Amino acid sequence: MAGTSEEAMGAISETFWATTKAYSSPSANMECSTCKLVIEMKKVSYILLSILMLATWTSCELETSNNGALDGYWRLQQVDTLQTNGTADLSAQRLFWSVQGKILMLNDLDYRYPECVMEFEHRDQRLTLHRPLISDRTKGDPVIDDVKILYPYGIRRLDEQFEVERLDGSRMILRSEQLRLVFTKF
């Protein structure tokens, strides 16, 4: 029995020394450096994944609109001239204001008037429009310098201000110094 125990101890000792030699050999160093490389790659992938998630979360934050009921597709139905109390019924025409983010797009689905783009600010029951452009990517979206291009959409100034008289999920009424515009949400 004592021999068996000594044989077992000898086998364990041989296995230990064989393992030690194996890990001190060049091929073992390769395996060990490969392990280190894999660990480093995992660290880098976790860092990149974290950065990607943070960038995605941040970009969603930047694109979120706080326009409330103003966002959407509004059809211009009526224009009232305040000075003369005149009314123009535009329900047969297809003139639209499309609001998203900080951009207002003006378009005529009957293609009589050019499509235009403007920036806007909506604050304290006021809607301020500015920086009007003709939406033409082939020409670099030229700046509008003749306000008459905007007349069909109820805009009389290149930098126009409207008082928001009504704004809910179905109807919007805006009043400038000269006009009152009545819209329905489409």
Three-class DSSP labels, the chain: CHHHHHHHHHHHHHHHHHHHHHHHCHHHHHHHHHHHHHHHHHHHHHHHHHHHHHHHHHHHHHHCCCCHHHCEEEEEEEEEECCCCEEEECCCCCEEEEEECCEEEEEECCCCCCCEEEEEEEECCEEEEEEEEECCHHHCCCECCCHHHHHHHCCCCCCEEEEEEEECCCEEEEECCCEEEEEEEC
Tell me how far apart the alpha carbons of residues 119 and 137 are, in angstroms, rounded to a whole number: 17
83: CB partners within 8 A, 6+ apart: 178
The strand pairing partners of 79, in sequence order, are 88, 181
Does the pLDDT of residue 3 top 60, yes or no?
Answer: no
More confident residue, 62 or 144: 144
Task: At 4, give phi and psi (nearest 5°).
Answer: -65, -40
The amino acid that residue 157 corresponds to is: R
Question: How confident is the model at residue 2, as a pLDDT?
Answer: 52
- Using 50, 70 and 90 to split pLDDT, how confident is the model at 135? very high
Question: How confident is the model at residue 61, as a pLDDT?
Answer: 47
**Cβ(95)–Cβ(75) under 8 Å?**
yes
Q: Give the pLDDT mean for 74-78.
A: 98
- Using 50, 70 and 90 to split pLDDT, how confident is the model at 93? very high
68-185 in CATH: which number?
Answer: 2.40.128.280
Q: How far is CA 48 from each of CA 34, 36, 39, 53, 56, rounded to the nearest angstrom?
A: 21, 18, 14, 9, 12
Q: Are strands 95-100 and 72-81 parallel, antiparallel or unpaired?
A: antiparallel
pTM (two decimals): 0.66
The amino acid that residue 46 corresponds to is: Y
For the ranges 15-29, 62-76, 151-165, the lowest mean pLDDT is seen at 15-29
122 dihedral zone (left: phi>0; alpha: psi -120 to 50; beta): beta
Does the pLDDT of residue 19 top 70, yes or no?
Answer: no
More confident residue, 126 or 1: 126
Q: What is the pLDDT of residues 21-69, one digit of tens each?
A: 555 555 555 567 777 888 888 887 778 777 777 776 665 544 567 888 9
More confident residue, 21 or 140: 140
The pLDDT mean for the chain works out to 85
Task: At 168, give phi and psi (nearest 5°).
Answer: -140, -165
Question: How confident is the model at residue 35, as a pLDDT?
Answer: 78
Question: How confident is the model at residue 44, as a pLDDT?
Answer: 78
Does the pLDDT of residue 182 top 80, yes or no?
Answer: yes
Does the pLDDT of residue 177 top 80, yes or no?
Answer: yes
By percentage, how much of the chain surpasses pLDDT 70?
Answer: 78
Question: How confident is the model at residue 171, as a pLDDT?
Answer: 97
